[in-house]
Amino acid sequence: MKNFDIIVIGAGPGGSVAAKVASENGYSTCILEKEMLGEKGRYKACGGAAAWELIEEINYPEDKIGRVIESLELHHVDGETYSKKGKGAVVWRSTFDKFLTDMAVDSGALLKEKELMVDIEKV
């Protein structure tokens, strides 16, 4: 593997956004993802709630949104409840993650699928 300024481990939302920002700022960037994302992304068990501000900031296509919501209420097993009013979206994580990874690649990051990080050598 060639040398990169930045290697990001994992193509989840955090990794993909980090890779996108790094690439846009001129760093040679590689994302190592242990799974195969494929054309539709990979399945990820997740509630999929996203703040509307995030949806707007990343220009997430409305046709990829599963449902628009106006409030959110979470109930914890210990009895605590968390409520939030305001517009949000429910998204499929596979589609959402794939969208973010594609943004990173379009910004210049290299995506290596089915790649495990096993060692780091500083050069």
Residues with Cβ < 8 Å from 19, sequence gap 6 or more? 6, 8, 11, 29, 30, 31, 104, 107, 109
In whole angstroms, what is the distance from residue 19 CA to residue 29 CA?
6
Q: Which domains does the chain have, with CATH numbers?
A: 1-43+94-123 (3.50.50.60), 49-91 (no CATH)
R_g of the chain computed on alpha carbons:
17
Report residue 14: phi and psi, to 5°: -65, -45
**Which pLDDT tens digits describe the chain residue by residue (123 residues)?**
578 999 999 999 999 999 999 999 999 999 999 999 878 777 777 778 899 999 999 999 999 999 999 998 889 999 999 998 999 999 998 999 999 999 999 999 999 999 888 887 777
